[in-house]
Structure 1
Amino acid sequence: MTQWLLTCVELKEEQKTYLQDNFPTIRVASIDLLAVSDYEKVTIIYGWSDNLPSLIHFPSLKWVQTLSAGVNYLPLEELAKRDIMVTTTSGIHGHQMTESVLGMLFSYTRNIRESILKQEKHEWGIVNTGTDLVDKRVLIFGTGSIAQQLAKTLQVFGCDVFGINRSGRQVDHFTQTFNYQEGKSRLKTMDIVINLMPGTKETYHYFNDYLFSNMKDGVIFINMGRGTSVSTSDLISHIKTEKIGFAALDVFEEEPLPKDSELWNLQNVLITPHISGATDKYNDRAFTILTDNLIRFMNHEELKNVVDLNLGY
């Protein structure tokens, strides 16, 4: 029986050939070329697009393989009602996001950002003596694959790395992990706080005035999770008072970040345009997950990275 795979991702010619040679019962169709009359035949969607019609047009849809780790942009309630399985590319973001965190930290601790700004003005000398990562206490909200790669790397630089997850279960590469309530009580002892939490109803504005107020004075705050998990107004308030000594932000409540946002003009803020997960190797790594899951799907086996549609991750 032929299964129709609708791809919202531009495939390389060798990838198309691979699918044709290894999955003869799979018919691949691009979103740009799929006829309306063929919507009802689609069994699998690879990636996602704003140009996709309502799911009601895909009565045969059984599985969505996303091109991302987060799924907050999907119609999760409708997918759950239809019992449509969703899988993610979780596991392919760790290296590049870890490197991004290191870049952000070094831009502040080693005065790289200040040096760049002074270079543009042809000015010599740095006011701040800087610091290093040795013996810094780091708290990471989230202990998934990205957080584990990050924790492992930060340990190399002499950091003491702690993690927070729902249950407080212990995870490799962390000195210790806590549940959410325990983690809040440890905030004042942490030099660096990193958000890697998904965007869900539960995490909406999780980082707010209360949480920021309970952090250590001069804390370094990095957000690479989801923009909706941080209250922008509360964040700005605590940056202005320098309760947050330095904020490195890759994700925002509204993207692109509006030109009139106060964040652009704050001296102790580094902004990157949601690029921490990007790499020239991304699509190849994602394709590997797709093909692995296709084998499992065809053999009626459990797929990798299945999303709990009720939890949203």
Structure 2
Amino acid sequence: MATPKPEKLLCVLPLPAPPNLEQQMKEKHPEMDFEYIFHRFDTRNALACVKDIVPPEKFQSATVLVTLTMLPDPADCPNLELIHVFSAGTNHIANHPIFTNTKIPICTATGVHGPQIAEWVLMTLLAHNHLLPRMYEFQKKHLWERERTMEFHRVRDLVGQRIGVLGYGSIGRQIARVSKAMGMDVIAYTATPKKTPEARQDSGYIVPGTGDPDGSIPSAWFGGLDKDSLHNFLEQDIDVLVLSLPLTAKTRHLLGEAEFEILAKKQAFLVNISRGEIIDQPDLIRALEKGSLRGAALDVTDPEPLPKDDPLWDAPNILIAPHISGVGSAYSERAFQILDINLTRRAKGEKLINVVQRERGY
């Protein structure tokens, strides 16, 4: 009988290990040797800086790698069979030789962000609708302005407003769930048309009690990556448009002047929690200045970090955050839950979840 191949789980992450992680991994996956390497977040090219942090020999025996940005040269990881990335998107590693020149399965943390990001989306939307920045200015000046301002009488609640979710993955589904609870009508858009109930189901990781597992929340579904299909979706009297789709060659600058002119029909509010490059940023600034859009909340920009002298900072009716909408105390715990699911499935020879389709880029 052949000797089983040694298994090694190597974690290289820019966050401290959760309490008792090593013990839990040994109990659930005793066949695996476990090593955790903490490093500070580094925005340099992953291949260029990984050798500064992890000696190449550390990768030699690794069969499973958990990482965010740090990937080894393919020659340094001859035994690697699975990569688990602690992010939903993989555009930041799409040009790495591991991604382009190997067939090592790559799985993501898709599904862990939904609750946190959905709350951020609704928080920014409600803050804009209810003039929270204006109220805070009153507070800082110690002004009781109830009798002297009429602008609050123009506040419109969300009931009956239509939210278009452009990119109906795990994040989009939780945004839909909380929006529906606020009385909004939800319509969904996906790159691949979902015409049957089976196609509309969510087959990835779902935080219990969240999302839209069976795809029943939207009142209408739209799909396709051609401009005609996109414009048909945007023409559906959308009050709020949320971007929650991955960045690929086909989605870069997906929204620009023509799309903002369509949204001007209802003077829509735009929220982007996906990637900054999906929007033509100068066109967005002009749309805000013209009043084609009533406002925008951006957790992502192009580039990042946004330079101090970038005109986006001073665009009217805008809220900008430094790519933090998905950050939270439960992030790491949920990401390791996905890893645990896939390690268990891998050991049983079952199909993995959250597997990146390289040809699609996500």
Name the TM-score, length of structure 1 as normaliser.
Answer: 0.93
Specify the alignment match of 1:72 in structure 2. Answer: 91
Amino acid at match of 2:240: I
Is 1:276 matched with 2:325? yes
Amino acid at match of 2:173: Q
Alignment counterpart, residue 179 of structure 1, candidates 192, 203, 223: 223
The SS at the match of 1:194 is strand
Alpha-carbon contact 1:207-1:230 (below 8 Å) kept: yes
* Aligned residues between the structures: 312
Whole-angstrom CA distance in 1 between matches of 2:312 and 2:302: 12
Specify the alignment match of 2:69 in structure 1. Answer: 49
Specify the alignment match of 2:22 in structure 1. Answer: 16
Is 1:136 matched with 2:133? no
Name the TM-score, length of structure 2 as normaliser.
Answer: 0.81
Please list every run of at least 4 consecutive aligned residues from structure 1 whose deviation after the TM superposition is greater than 4 angstroms: 32-35
Deviations 1:20-54 (A, max 9, x none): 2222221122346854333221221112235x443
Whole-angstrom CA distance in 1 between matches of 2:88 and 2:94: 15
Whole-angstrom CA distance in 1 between matches of 2:114 and 2:332: 15
Deviations 1:101-137 (A, max 9, x none): 1101100111112212332333443535211101111
Deviations 1:54-81 (A, max 9, x none): 3332222221101111111114563243
Specify the alignment match of 1:295 in structure 2. Answer: 344
Residue 95 of structure 1, CA deviation = 1.1
Amino acid at match of 1:58: C
Change in Cα spacing, 1:121 to 1:265, as seen in structure 2 (3 Å) is farther
Amino acid at match of 2:8: W
User: Which runs of 5 or more residues in structure 2 are unaligned?
Assistant: 39-52, 196-214
Specify the alignment match of 2:252 in structure 1. Answer: 204
The SS at the match of 2:294 is strand
Whole-angstrom CA distance in 1 between matches of 2:101 and 2:82: 13
The SS at the match of 2:312 is helix
Specify the alignment match of 1:91 in structure 2. Answer: 111
Whole-angstrom CA distance in 2 between matches of 1:77 and 1:37: 19
Residue 183 of structure 1, CA deviation = 4.1
Specify the alignment match of 1:112 in structure 2. Answer: 132
Specify the alignment match of 1:214 in structure 2. Answer: 262
The SS at the match of 1:114 is helix
Amino acid at match of 2:78: P
Which moved further from structure 2: 107-116 or 123-132? 123-132
Amino acid at match of 2:168: T
The SS at the match of 2:63 is strand
Whole-angstrom CA distance in 2 between matches of 1:138 and 1:12: 37
Residue 260 of structure 1, CA deviation = 1.0
Whole-angstrom CA distance in 2 between matches of 1:197 and 1:109: 24
The SS at the match of 1:256 is coil
Whole-angstrom CA distance in 2 between matches of 1:80 and 1:4: 24
Whole-angstrom CA distance in 1 between matches of 2:316 and 2:60: 53
Alpha-carbon contact 1:187-1:216 (below 8 Å) kept: no
Specify the alignment match of 2:43 in structure 1. Answer: none
Identity rate, percent: 29
Alpha-carbon contact 2:186-2:218 (below 8 Å) kept: yes
Specify the alignment match of 2:121 in structure 1. Answer: 101
Residue 205 of structure 1, CA deviation = 0.6
Which moved further from structure 2: 113-122 or 292-301? 113-122
Amino acid at match of 1:272: A
Alpha-carbon contact 1:227-1:253 (below 8 Å) kept: yes
Residue 243 of structure 1, CA deviation = 0.6
Alignment counterpart, residue 190 of structure 2, candidates 165, 169, 178: 165
